[in-house]
Chain A
Amino acid sequence: GAVVSQHPSWVICKSGTSVKIECRSLDFQATTMFWYRQFPKQSLMLMATSNEGSKATYEQGVEKDKFLINHASLTLSTLTVTSAHPEDSSFYICSARGSTGELFFGEGSRLTVL
């Protein structure tokens, strides 16, 4: 099946720094990618929809200046958590939509902010 890769798989950073997470579709082109966040023992929460070449659409309550999303190519979307704080510690998961509409998920990136 199609593969979506996230990097890094885990990252630890100091409070106040910015962290970038990459999401790549390895064997297909994805015009649309989605970013989710998951806290322990909770479900996935959709943060934003990322369309190649245009601005991301953020879900209600998600700060667009805090979570910067760039989808510069058909195989890469990036999520940057700016000025990260401990409450931003979470599991971040991306999903990519193929040409036939199928949705494939990455393995997730665990962010810990000290």
Chain B
Amino acid sequence: DAKTTQPPSMDCAEGRAANLPCNHSTISGNEYVYWYRQIHSQGPQYIIHGLKNNETNEMASLIITEDRKSSTLILPHATLRDTAVYYCIVRVGGGNQGGKLIFGQGTELSVKP
């Protein structure tokens, strides 16, 4: 079973920041948090991942709480092309080298003009 819970849907205005929350209260000490997104009828696209520190790349920022029980994905300036289902995933087993990704239900983000 997935170890994450996310709101089923969210709306965001174009140009504004999209903040997508995720709860993973049962996460273990060496389990990483990954974020992927899926645009309709395509394969998932990697966004970002982290263990305990906040992370930033060209796509997004990942904020992980100190107790690691929740995290937030931030898209700083959402565009219409960011409309997708966003999955927060705890990588189970094997740290950042092994293990597998068990998908939860994700958040359907709609970016509106």
Q: In terms of DSSP, what is the predominant structure of the interface of chain A?
A: strand
Q: Please report the number of residue pairs spanning A and B whose Cβ atoms sit closer than 8 angstroms.
A: 52
Q: A100-B97, A101-B97 are in contact. Are A108 and B103 (CB under 8 A)?
A: no
Residue among A34, A36, A43, A49 facing the most chain B CB atoms (10 A cut-off): A43
**Pair B100/A49 contact, Cβ less than 8 Å:** yes
Interface size on B, residues (CB 8 A): 23
**Pair A44/B44 contact, Cβ less than 8 Å:** yes
Minimum CB–CB distance for A29 against chain B, Å: 15
Contacts of B34 in A (CB 8 A): 103
Contact flags B41-78 to A (C-beta < 8 A → 1, else 0): 11111100000000000000000000000000000000
**Pair A103/B46 contact, Cβ less than 8 Å:** yes
| B17 at interface by CB-CB < 8 Å | no
| B80 at interface by CB-CB < 8 Å | no
**Pair A45/B42 contact, Cβ less than 8 Å:** no
Which A residues form the contact surface with B (CB < 8 A)? 1, 4, 6, 32, 34, 36, 43-46, 49, 91, 93, 95, 97, 100-108, 110
